[in-house]
Amino acid sequence: MRWSRTLITTLRDDPQEAEIPSHKLMVRAGLIRKLSGGLYTFMPLGLRALHKVARIVREEMDRAGAQEILMPALQPAELWERSGRLAAMGPGMFKLRDRAERLMALGPTHEEVVTELLGHEISSYRQLPCTVYQVQTKFRDEIRPRFGLMRSKEFIMKDAYSFDTSLEAADASYQAMYDAYVRIFARCGLLARAVEADTGDIGGKWSHEFMVLADSGEDGLVDCPACGYAANQERAERAAPAADAPACCPDREPVATPGVRTVDELATFFACPADRFIKTLVYLADGKPVAALVPGDRDLNEHKFKRLLGAKKLELADEATVQKVTGAPVGFAGPVGLAVPTYADPSLQGAADRITGANLADTHLRHVDLARDAAVTAFEDLVIVGPGDACPRCGQPLQLKRGIEVGHVFKLGTKYSEAFEAKYLNEKGQSELMVMGCYGIGVTRTLQAVVEQCHDADGIVWPVSVAPFAVTLLLLDPKDPAVCATVDALERDLQAAGIDVFVDDREERPGVKFKDADLIGCPIRVVVGAKGLAKGGVEVKLRTSKSADLIPPDQATDTIRTLIAGLTSAATR
């Protein structure tokens, strides 16, 4: 492919709307163009790289025994009503009506469709296990699309679904997909980490996210360098410290605190640290009030609380509910005398001589002993884990890192097979529910994650496996017949060797071509110019190297083939 016949425009300056390096570089290198918020067009170079990511995904899915299908992006909303997710997805789902006024949805995912499909296609245990996958466009109406392809309204995703006869068989399917994901991200040149994760609206009992470590990542994850424990912050646990209960706690005492509501204000008012307070948070779980207690210096993890309660919907209680439950306005709630289910973080077990709200306007209680003065339903892990907390596995300090989620694998169990009556006949002719798993990879997100992890001050540094082209060939003197003939011959030789090559044949200054070559970031740069030929060679340089080697033209293809083999080997080690 030649630049002069390709739709490519590079930019010198960063686009104003781009916040992170990968978004800036993908726009500047001419890989994508914005249509509107969360919607992007893939340009020729970007589409080539995207196809390479998708090819790796397909190869590893096939290798793991999955079969490719293609399901409709447009789905009847009644399927989502059967699973109960139409309301759960809420405004995040694109909905429309057809000309017959039937409610339809643009699929954000395909659990409902695939379960309906396989429920009719599979009837016997002899057809199981069965895993199917697709590479399909998804739609989610993000409140705030940002970071380019990282959080967009339309994106390409690989989603796979396994169907098995038992939980044990489903575990084997899960492991096969987990292992395939490890290979996929390694082949894409990514340093990805599998972490325990929350299942969210997808459902199921267990899941892992595959995270690409990056300072710009939207997700927080905790990591234990001592034992290897890792989890998304939504899921992460900690070994809770024992409460430092005094030997004797005075009787609780009300203190007037007019207008003092927040922990920071209370810490100043009482002249004591935030961890001496107990925050009482009132929530509505599926419409019913419930309370959570956490230390004053910690924040409640709503994902954990929702999972603990088994609630479909969890939200902070409104002012009227707080007033009804506590008898006080927001800011003065406390555990003493609460008549709703009340859960406390384990770090508060045995807590005494603490300060809480008094369930009375402008009043707090001092010298509260939680065991003596309040009725706690259960002590459960409730707080957001942070750096320095003790690892739940080995007790060593945890580290906090940032990551980009590129893949997620779920053990679904029978949530969807039960809703859609997806059953099979076992060896005895008895009807049983199929056990499911689901496995997603954001193909477009993975592409941008590569750029986010693989770049320098000059531009993208593509891994050879997903680069738009393995080689960029710079023609420095377009009017010199010898230079043009050398470029033509080298282009033919490389293509014959199965090496994709991109020729910059523009009538531009060499400096412009060098800058663009670094910006686009193909792994190997070859420069052909009159000066180099006069010295007997062409310049061959890795994108990651500072210097180039002068190679005789008739040896260049073999040299490049050796370099590519080395790059490929290094990426898969």
The enclosing domain of 187 has a CATH number of: 3.30.930.10
474 shares a domain with 361: no
Three-point CA angle 145, 146, 147, nearest 5°: 145
pLDDT value at position 217? 83
* Span 281-325, pLDDT tens digits: 999 999 999 999 999 999 999 999 998 999 989 999 999 999 999
Does residue 425 sit in the same domain as residue 485?
no
Q: Write out pLDDT tens, residues 1-52.
A: 899 999 999 999 999 888 999 999 999 999 999 999 999 999 999 999 999 9
Can you tell me the distance from the alpha carbon of 526 to that of 540, in angstroms, rounded to the nearest whole number?
Answer: 5
Q: What mean pLDDT is reported for the chain? A: 94
Is 389 part of a structural domain of the chain? Answer: no
38 shares its domain with 112: yes
Do the domain assignments include residue 462?
no
What's the token pair of residue 560? 């490049």
- Tell me the three-class secondary structure of 215-233, residue by residue: CCCCEEEEECCCCCCEEEC
10 lies in a domain? yes
Q: Which two tokens stand for residue 407?
A: 């893949």
Q: Are residues 268 and 215 in the same domain?
A: no
pTM score, two decimals? 0.87
Interatomic CA distance for residues 462 and 455, integer angstroms: 8
DSSP E strand boundaries for 307-346: 314-316, 342-344
Q: Are residues 350 and 406 in the same domain?
A: no
- 185 found inside a domain: yes
Last residue within a domain, chosen from 348, 379, 410: 379
Whether residue 244 is contained in a domain is answered as no
Query: Do 327 and 438 belong to one domain?
Result: no
Do the domain assignments include residue 385? no
Distance CA 29, CA 2 (A): 16
Q: Cα separation of 368 and 251, whole Å?
A: 7
Q: Supply the CATH number for residue 322's domain.
A: 3.90.960.10
Angle between helices 167-187 and 553-572 (to 10 degrees): 150
Q: Cα–Cα distance between 305 and 313 in angstroms, integer? A: 11
CA distance 461 to 472: 13
One domain, residues 433 and 485: no
Same domain, 539 and 413: no
CB 178 within 8 A of CB 194: yes
Strand-pairing partners, residue 294, are 279
Using DSSP bridges, classify how beta strands 94-97 and 130-139 pair: parallel, antiparallel or unpaired: unpaired
The CATH number of whichever domain residue 563 belongs to comes to 3.40.50.800
Phi-psi region of 446 (alpha: psi -120 to 50; beta: other; left: phi over 0): alpha
Does 121 lie in the same domain as 28? yes
Residues 333 and 445 reside in one and the same domain: no
Total domains, the chain = 3
Same domain, 113 and 200: yes
- Longest Cα–Cα distance of the chain, Å, equals 97
pLDDT tops 90 at residue 199: no
User: DSSP states of 99-122 as a string?
Assistant: TT--EEEE-S--HHHHHHHHHHH-
What does the alpha-carbon distance between residue 151 and residue 147 come to, in Å, rounded to a whole number?
A: 6
Instruction: Classify residue 463: in a domain, yes or no.
Output: no
The pLDDT, as a whole number, for residue 200 is: 60
Residue 196 lies in a domain: yes
The tokens describing 37, both together, are 């918020």
The domain in which residue 368 lies consists of 253-379
Does the pLDDT value for residue 573 go beyond 70?
no
Residue 348, both tokens: 């508060």
What tens digit of pLDDT does each residue of 510-568 get? 999 999 999 999 999 999 999 999 999 999 999 999 999 999 999 999 999 999 999 98
Crossing angle of helices 553-572 and 481-496, in 10° steps, is: 40
Are 414 and 360 in the same domain?
Answer: no
Query: Running DSSP on this structure, what letter comes out for residue 134?
Result: E
